[in-house]
Structure 1
Amino acid sequence: MKSILIVGAGFAGAVHARCLAEAGYRVQVIDQRPHIAGNVYDYVDDNGMRVHAYGPHLFHTKNTEVADWIRQFGVFVPYTHKVRARLPDGQFAPMPINLDTVNMVFGTDFTDAAQVAAHLARVALPIAEPANAAEHLYSKIGRDLTDLFFRPYTKKMWVLDLEDMSAAVVKRIPLRSDRTDTYFADDELQMMPRDGYTALFQALFDHPAIAISLSTAFDKAMLAGYDFCFNAMPIDAYFDFAEGELPYRSIRFHHATSDDTAQPGWCTTNYTDTGKLTRATRWDALPHHVVRETGRRTITAEEPCDYRDNAMERYYPVKTADGRYQAIYDRYRALAEAQAARIAFIGRCGTYQYLDMDQVINQSLAHVRRWLARQ
């Protein structure tokens, strides 16, 4: 039986591990963290709340194959995510921007999508080929909405001006002209694992051919003991930063306890001010997240920072308008291709991409199936 080493116990590593084990391979999974599930790891805190240790993770997809595959390993329940942005006047406006958001900001009284679409067309700037995030947003919603909802948030999150950021980053954000106030309305499947992500990963790894070692850092000397390695570690770290460092943004989490058990009607609040926090999450707004009733609720606020200032926790690859970091990654990818006979890089840090959960699963299923077909 061939033996495979997988570095990383998050979604990319878990999908590869499960598929390889079911195909008859012996799989050893290692992770430098003391837990499985990567960035979706969750736990129950002293307030009886299920808390996502690395920020809220909300499963949504258009891909029914991905949804069907992951539902093999746990019960999922419907969940429709809502976000509000706190405005300078204290109002809470729907995000993504919709009809009610436009009315709040401009003092209008629009009642249908056509009116909003016409208004946005009037305020939008005529930029045929946007070169960066600012120009993309200006071309869609104009300066006022861009500078209120996106400019301060972007500066806090990325330490970049919108003019320096790739348009691809903000193209992911939907914009609406009707009263739809749910965040992922374009995705047919929106759901959460009823028993949490950690339990889901326990089921994913529950196979006699899979062994897991936690609190275990990767060492290149390990490769000699395996037939192949799928590696989700930062690709620049693997190559000892030979082509330069790939930057990431990280998050410091600030947990607070509230005795107010009344939910406001949404889960996440975005902050449009210039303070250090970007958003806050009420965990009780998520289904099955009040695990034990204590009369207390946990609210978690997020403060972005450089990953080097947060125990090297890499969350978000930095994508600039000029593509300078992508160029560095491309050089690392060339180095990796030269070693493709014995190692493949996977996941967010291995491929220097920001990926939603369904994208990681889909990418990993496709990747491991191609690899198996070649054997």
Structure 2
Amino acid sequence: MQSILIVGAGFAGAVHARQLAEAGYRCQVIDRRSHIAGNAFDEVLPNGIRVHRYGPHLFHTNNKGVVDWLQRFTEFVPYEHRVEALLADGRTLPMPINRRTLEGLFKVDLPTAAEAEQFLHSLAVPMEAPSNAAEYLLSQIGPDLTDLFFRPYTKKMWELDLEELDTSVVKRIPIRFDDEDRYFPNDQYQFMFKGGYTAAFERILDHPLISVDIGREFSKSMLKDYHYCFNSMPIDEYFDFTFGPLPYRSIRFHHRDVPAEEGAGTATTINFTDAGPRTRETDWSRIPDHLVHRTGRKTLTQEEPCDYVDNNMERYYPVKTSDGRYQAVYEKYKALAEKTNECGFIGRCGTYQYLDMHQVINQSLKHVNDWIERQK
């Protein structure tokens, strides 16, 4: 029986391990952290609130195949995420922008979606081919909304101006002309994992051919003991930063234990539009199955972006610039990886991509199933 080494116990590693084990491969999963589940790791605090240690993870997708695969390991709790933006005057408005956002901000009456679309079009600055995030936003919503909702937030989040960021960074955020205020309005499946993500990972990794060793660092000397390695570690680190480090943004989390009735707005997450260091606040008690025990208390978590080197090397978000300079560096590492017969790179840090949960699951299923087929 061939043995496979899997580096990382997040979604990429766990999906690979489960599929390989079911195909008859013995899998050793290691992770440098002290827990499984990667950035989706969650835990229940003493005040009875379930929190995600590395920030809110909200499952949403149109991919039924991913949902069907997950149903083997977890039940689902329906949840549709909503976000509001906190203004300087203390009001909160729906985010992403919709008809109510426009009415509340500009003090106008827009009875229909068509009128809201026409109004927003009047604010926009026409551009044929936006080359960066700033130009894209200006072409869609104009300077006032760009400067209020995106420019300060982006500077805090990325430590870059909108003009320096790729359009893909902001294209992920929808713009609506009706009253739709769900953050993911176009996704058919939106839910949380009943009992939390960590419990689901325990079930995914519960197989006689899977062994898990947490708190263990990867070393290239391990490779000789395995037929192959699927590796989700940072690809630049694996190759000893030959072409220089790939930049990531990280997040410092600030938790507050407060009375259950405290909190601004009505949405789960509040985005801050000011120039202060923090980007948003999440009220975990508003997410289903996250108020586990009633204690009269709850947790509010604020996020403060920073460089990953200033946060214990915790890499969260690859940096995508409008000139593609970091992507070009990644392509050099990718070329090195393609010459490596003993190791394949997976997941967010292995492929230098920002991936939602459903995307990394789908990518991992395809990748590992294709690999298994090639071995036959």
Task: State the TM-score bracket (shorter-chain normalisation).
Answer: over 0.9
Structure 1 consecutive aligned stretches of length 4 or more whose deviation exceeds 4 Å: none
Aligned partners of 2:172, 2:272: CA distance in 1, in Å?
19
Q: Which secondary structure state, in structure 2, belongs to the residue aligned with residue 178 of structure 1?
A: coil
Aligned partners of 2:189, 2:112: CA distance in 1, in Å?
26
Q: Pairwise mapping of residues 97-136 of structure 1 onto structure 2 (< 5 A)?
A: 97-136=97-136
Q: Pairwise mapping of residues 217-232 of structure 1 onto structure 2 (< 5 A)?
A: 217-232=217-232
- Percent identity of equivalent pairs: 60
Q: Which residue of 2 aligns with 1:308?
A: 309
Q: Which moved more, 1:231-240 or 1:283-292?
A: 283-292
Aligned partners of 1:330, 1:342: CA distance in 2, in Å?
19
TM superposition score normalised by structure 2: 0.98
Q: Which residue of 2 aligns with 1:254?
A: 254
Q: Which residue of 2 aligns with 1:288?
A: 289
- How far 1:302 moved relative to its partner? 0.3
Cα deviation 1:220-247 (Å, max 9, x = unaligned): 0000000000000000000000011100
Q: Which secondary structure state, in structure 2, belongs to the residue aligned with residue 60 of structure 1?
A: strand
Q: Which amino acid aligns with 2:307?
A: D
Aligned partners of 2:370, 2:118: CA distance in 1, in Å?
47
Aligned partners of 1:258, 1:39: CA distance in 2, in Å?
25
Q: Which moved more, 1:114-123 or 1:9-18?
A: 114-123
- How far 1:260 moved relative to its partner? 3.2
Q: Which residue of 2 aligns with 1:215?
A: 215
Aligned partners of 1:279, 1:345: CA distance in 2, in Å?
32
Cα deviation 1:23-79 (Å, max 9, x = unaligned): 000000000000000000000111110010000000000101111111110111100
Aligned partners of 2:281, 2:266: CA distance in 1, in Å?
14
Aligned partners of 1:52, 1:370: CA distance in 2, in Å?
32
Q: Pairwise mapping of residues 25-104 of structure 1 onto structure 2 (< 5 A)?
A: 25-104=25-104
Q: Which residue of 1 aligns with 2:356?
A: 356
Q: Which residue of 2 aligns with 1:320?
A: 321
Q: Which amino acid aligns with 1:200?
A: A
Q: Which residue of 1 aligns with 2:271?
A: 270
Q: Which amino acid aligns with 1:165?
A: L
Between Structure 1 and Structure 2, how many residues are aligned?
374
Q: Which amino acid aligns with 1:130?
A: P
- How far 1:144 moved relative to its partner? 0.6
Q: Which moved more, 1:86-95 or 1:1-10?
A: 86-95
Aligned partners of 1:95, 1:363: CA distance in 2, in Å?
29
1:2 correspondence with 2:2: yes
- How far 1:89 moved relative to its partner? 1.6
Cα deviation 1:301-357 (Å, max 9, x = unaligned): 000000000000000000000000000000000000000x21100000000000000
Q: Which residue of 1 aligns with 2:336?
A: 335
Cα deviation 1:240-261 (Å, max 9, x = unaligned): 0001110000000000011133
- Structure 1 unpaired stretches of 5+: none
Q: Pairwise mapping of residues 237-248 of structure 1 onto structure 2 (< 5 A)?
A: 237-248=237-248
Aligned partners of 1:61, 1:225: CA distance in 2, in Å?
38
Q: Which secondary structure state, in structure 2, belongs to the residue aligned with residue 170 of structure 1?
A: helix
Cα deviation 1:71-119 (Å, max 9, x = unaligned): 1101111001010000112110101100010111211111111011001
Q: Which secondary structure state, in structure 2, belongs to the residue aligned with residue 269 of structure 1?
A: strand
Q: Which residue of 2 aligns with 1:193?
A: 193
Aligned partners of 2:101, 2:248: CA distance in 1, in Å?
31
Q: Which secondary structure state, in structure 2, belongs to the residue aligned with residue 329 of structure 1?
A: helix
- How far 1:265 moved relative to its partner? 2.8
- Structure 2 unpaired stretches of 5+: none
Q: Which amino acid aligns with 1:307?
A: Y
Q: Which secondary structure state, in structure 1, belongs to the residue aligned with residue 294 of structure 2?
A: coil
Cα deviation 1:134-169 (Å, max 9, x = unaligned): 000000111111110000000000000000000011
Aligned partners of 2:117, 2:228: CA distance in 1, in Å?
53
Q: Which residue of 2 aligns with 1:146?
A: 146
Aligned partners of 1:128, 1:46: CA distance in 2, in Å?
54
- How far 1:262 moved relative to its partner? 6.5
Aligned partners of 1:126, 1:96: CA distance in 2, in Å?
21
Aligned partners of 1:87, 1:68: CA distance in 2, in Å?
41
Cα deviation 1:207-231 (Å, max 9, x = unaligned): 0000000000000000000000000
Q: Which moved more, 1:102-111 or 1:202-211?
A: 102-111
Q: Which secondary structure state, in structure 1, belongs to the residue aligned with residue 27 of structure 2?
A: strand
- How far 1:294 moved relative to its partner? 0.8
Q: Which residue of 1 aligns with 2:182?
A: 182
